[in-house]
Amino acid sequence: MSFDANSANAQWRTRPADQCFPSIDAALAQADHRMHHSASKVLASRSLSADVDIGQLVIKGPSGVPALPTHWAFGQLCSRIDAPADYLRTLPAEMTADCLNYGLKVTRESMDLGVSLYKNGGPAELHSVTGPNYGRIWDARVWQALREVFGDGLTGKYKNPALIARPDSFDPSNVRDTTFYQSDRDMWCMVASAENTVNVPNRRDGKTGQLFTGFAFGNSDVGGRRLWMARF
């Protein structure tokens, strides 16, 4: 996969604080918890229905148990029935439910859908709506592999680039100092090495800068992207 500085900057610029983790271990713990509290199954689209529960849109399966769709899963469901997700998000929940039910049960023939549910003691969450043959690679499995190769991302040869560039001012609790991201739709990680650096003259304010070598990784276990790796 192609990879450049803009890709890393976009992650740093757009990730909210709750998606930023100080270490590979911390991101792994969150992803592992979600994996072990999730269940996947294949259901017929006409066995699904939309409803409103305490003012919130919910999706029900054959059992009738409601699940709150994430922003991502809602978009996936709408895509499966050719419904305009952005527009439906602007409507009252009752109208959105009616539109979804019309698409699920009237305008489309029944199709098999792969759904994943996250249960953590509270209301279930619908995390993905994919095709029935979706080959899921759990984010937690990727983090575990990274942990085995790179450690916690703060020690060893490969680590958070901010720690290499600014060892005296690096603050692992600062979300702007991390390159480990985990959300309900994807994960992203970058590690670098201080070995074999390339000096760049006049990089900024006439001062010499350095380029580090390293790796970047990304994945989505809810159908947002494929597993990828890039070397820089």
Going by pLDDT thresholds of 50, 70 and 90, the confidence category of residue 168 is confident
Looking at residue 106, what DSSP letter applies?
I
Cβ atoms of 170 and 122 within 8 Å: the answer is no
Q: Which of 39, 139, 134, 138 is nearest to 80 (CA)?
A: 134
The predicted model gives 94-117 an average pLDDT of: 94
- The amino acid that residue 62 corresponds to is P
Cβ atoms of 167 and 204 within 8 Å: the answer is no
Query: So what's the pLDDT on residue 2?
Result: 60
Q: Whose structure tokens read 């990730």?
A: 15
Task: Of 80-94, 109-123, 193-207, give the range with the top mean pLDDT.
Answer: 80-94
pLDDT digits (tens, 9 = 90+) for 27-60: 999 999 999 999 999 999 999 999 999 999 999 9
Query: So what's the pLDDT on residue 114?
Result: 97
Query: So what's the pLDDT on residue 211?
Result: 84
The predicted model gives 143-171 an average pLDDT of: 92
